Structure 1
Amino acid sequence: MASENPPAGTPLAERASFADSKGKGVDMSEDQTSGGVEDAQTDGAAYRTGASMLRDSEYTVNVQLSDLQADPNNPLYSIKSFEELGLDEAVLRGLREMRFSRPSKIQERALPLLMANPPQNMIGQSQSGTGKTAAFVLNVLSRLDVSPGMINVPQALILAPSRELARQIVGVIQVMGSFIEGLKIATLVPMESNRNQPVEASLVVGTPGTVQDFIRKRLFNTQHVKVLVLDEADNMLDQQGLGDQCIRMKSSLPKTTQIVLFSATFPDSVVRYAHKFAPNANQLTLKHEELTVEGIKQLYLDCDSTEHKYEILVKFYGLLTIGSSIIFVKTRASAAEIERRMIDEGHTVVSLTGGVDGQKRDEVIDSFRKGTAKVLITTNVLARGIDVQTVSMVINYDIPELHAPDAGERVADPQTYLHRIGRTGRFGRVGVAVSFVSNKEEWTMLMDIQKYFGTDIMRVDSRDWDEVEDVVKKVIKPSAK
């Protein structure tokens, strides 16, 4: 097997010019031999159809207004403090509770546009961890009527692609809205016990399929919904099934509903579709080169084979537990197998994939947030939006790729790479993202990702473990608490 690949530790330039192998290279996933589509599925992978926190001073938010005659640099379209927005004191108290002293760059530009009256649609893009969740939650809370006659009437709907992200958004709302008298929140996610009860809350957070199910059963009255938010919007509009559900949902809302789309990434093909979904929207964008997070040290290690990947991962365990770490793999079966092997060898790890039932998923993510479990193995189902501030390292055990079953070659997925590594380096902290490369196809995909973002992914020689430890510890030890 090793003869079909460059030797371990081969420099970037040499690997890039490595002659095309006659075979298929190392089989990346032994679980694909199990035969079943469910077993081999790329859990949470984006389809090929188009599919943290940065130091605030390192990027520029570009604003394109729906009113092309207006000047986006007008002071009316920017703020320097939350007080300038004329917020209710209860909301300001919630912001102080969250320790928001001043708006981030995305909030400076997004909030005046989001909260303008009459409401305007928005398509907003910013790096992971720059406060986009707080921005759309602030807008939603400011538009709710929580008078006695309206507290049980749904007035805002926030959609997220996963159960975990929906629960996390609810957590943000609960803190920011903790001083709002009469605020009621409904969480509509898969595998909950309230599937046959009518929605009686002013704010609804959920996943597209479950929310659509409530609407279909006439358990969710959408006649008074003022705001629809899609978090990780590119993923939902681009993914097969979710996009159709979002369209059906939107068609059930009043024509005057404000449509807000937020994500760290918006591929060009999705942007075109997003403008149809949210017509006449104000748009906030960043360049590809400004999307990667400054505080994240990006590395890669060469591995001889799939088994060598696992051996390197086990050697990494001591570094993984300095803070908290997330290991991203391609399939559910891979996650289960790595978890089993590491536990058998005496290591403490947990795994979470789309195949796990709801209550178990909640228990796993909650234990990870609390630090009871420090190493989490997962698929792309947790690549987006999840904010656990103690995460100091992300491992790309498998390079993220687009789900392209009919393609002749494997295709890199830069957007998912960005979302994955954005699980570390949150709120200005530092972090490390390490990618494992074991064959030419993986190397080519990583090189494509590097080129897309115009960034440098540093090679560390996997044969020199002292160097690996030195590089990683220099980054994560100062940030570990």
Structure 2
Amino acid sequence: MVIFDEADMMFEEGNFKDSSIKIVKMLRSPQVLLFSATYTEKVTNFCERYIHNPETIRISEDKLSIDTIWHVTVDVKTPKNRLDCLRDLLQDVALGSTIIFANRKDTVKEVAEEMRERGVAVSVFHGGMTPEERTKAYNLFIENKTTMLVATDVLSRGIDNPTVNMVVNYDMPNVKYDAVRTYLHRTGRTGRFGHGGVAINFLYGSQSQEILESVEQKYKIEFVSVDKDNLEEIGKFLKKPKNA
């Protein structure tokens, strides 16, 4: 038996794809299980080519969003206002375990430094770190020795911490890397195993709004808008799981 988790990433171009194909060929018709929250055409092509009579179990796209997650938007107007909004959020809302996603490692470092200055126990996670450094940061967060993890999309998959009750998209996902699919994986870090959660999206400019509309259309997510001057309202979403 061969199991591929995050199958959509395993069959992107590159070493993972080549190695995966070699494994299946080498084992002479093994039983193959593929799992992913988002199934791409490349995964379908692999199944059709290398798996005999594959069976597919799919969840319809309008049910992929987790029912217990509140999806919140905050129009911050300009990128410069994001850090101020994050400070206000920290001051006005009792945060639990939180993951903050940014698109650049420089932004990750900037946000983490600001949070540390405010007394928050922070870990960082990005592609510029060694595997050992990333493992240490991951373990500190999983063990609740740090309460905030600031990361790039290196961490948008594979982390299962049921105590995470908030995800903040400091940047909306990068349009170069399938922003709609990435949104689902990022926000799926909260609201896990039946727990409630909140996903907060900082919006500025037309591009972030376009990404939001694409996500809304594809996954049928209902977004709640909160004014940047009234961030304390987000606290009520943390206290009441959606559809509870």
Q: Deviation digits for residues 43-68 of structure 1, max 9, x if unmatched? A: xxxxxxxxxxxxxxxxxxxxxxxxxx
Distance between the aligned counterparts of 1:459 and 1:280, measured in 2?
Answer: 46
Aligned partner of 2:207 among 412, 429, 441: 441
CA distance in 2, matches of 1:243, 1:313: 39
Q: Which amino acid aligns with 2:31?
A: Q
Shift of the alpha carbon at 1:320?
6.9
Map 1:208-287 → 2, pairs under 5 A: 227-251=1-25, 253-287=26-60
Gaps of 5+ in 2: none
Q: Percent identity?
A: 29
Provide Cα deviations, 1:246-284, integer angstroms capped at 9, x if missing partner: 223333x32132111101111345423343243421110
Residue aligned with 1:436, SS: strand
d(CA) in 2 for partners of 1:379, 1:321: 24
Matches within 5 A, 1:458-477: 458-463=224-229, 465=230, 468-470=231-233, 472-477=234-239
Over 3 Å counting, the alpha-carbon distance change for 1:248 and 1:332 in structure 2 is: farther
Equivalent residue, structure 1, for 2:136: 363
Deviation at 1:474, TM superposition (A): 1.9
In the other structure, the counterpart of 2:165 is 392
Larger RCO, structure (CA 8 Å, separation 6 or more) = 2
Is 1:423–2:189 an aligned residue pair?
Answer: yes
> Distance between the aligned counterparts of 1:334 and 1:434, measured in 2?
17
Equivalent residues in 2 for 1:50-449, closer than 5 Å: 227-251=1-25, 253-318=26-91, 322-403=95-176, 413-449=179-215
Kept in 1, the 8 Å contact 2:93–2:235? The answer is no
More helix by share: 2
User: How many angstroms does 1:337 deviate by?
Assistant: 2.3
Equivalent residue number for residue 220 of structure 2: 454
Q: Structure 1 250/280 Cα, relative in aligned 2: closer, same or farther at 3 Å?
A: same
| Aligned counterparts of 1:335 and 1:320: Cα–Cα separation in 2 | 21
The alignment partner of 2:222 has SS state of coil
Aligned-CA RMSD value: 2.0
Q: Distance in 2 between matches of 1:240 and 1:307?
A: 36
Are the structure 2 counterparts of residues 446 and 239 from structure 1 closer, same or farther at C-alpha, using a change threshold of 3 Å?
farther
Amino acid at match of 1:338: V
Asked if 2 retains the 8 angstrom alpha-carbon contact of 1:332 and 1:379, the reply is: yes
CA distance in 2, matches of 1:240, 1:303: 37
What one-letter code is carried by the residue in structure 2 that aligns with 1:228? V
Shift of 1:396: 0.9
Deviations 1:390-410 (CA, angstroms, capped at 9, x unpaired): 000001111113426xxxxxx
**CA distance 1:450–1:368, shift in 2 (3 Å):** same
Give the letter aligned to residue 231 of structure 1: D
Shift of 1:478: 5.5
Cα–Cα, structure 1 residues 250 and 321, in superposed 2: closer, same or farther, change >3 Å?
farther
For residues 411-448 of structure 1, the C-alpha deviation after alignment (integer angstroms, 9 at most, x for no partner) is x5222111111111111111000111111111111111
Structure 1 residues 305-344: Cα deviation after superposition (integer angstroms, max 9, x where no partner): 1110111112222467632010011122221222123324
C-alpha spacing 1:235/1:350, structure 2 compared with 1 (3 Å): same
Other structure's SS at 1:335 match = helix
- Describe the superposition over 1:18-74 as per-residue Cα deviations: whole angstroms up to 9, x where unpaired: xxxxxxxxxxxxxxxxxxxxxxxxxxxxxxxxxxxxxxxxxxxxxxxxxxxxxxxxx
Deviation at 1:345, TM superposition (A): 4.6
* Greater gyration radius: 1
Q: Give the gaps of 5 or more residues in structure 1.
A: 1-226, 405-411
TM-score scaled by structure 1?
A: 0.47
Residues 1:419 and 1:277: Cα distance change in structure 2 (over 3 Å): farther
Alignment check: 8 A CA contact 1:234 1:263 kept: yes
TM-score after normalising by structure 2: 0.90
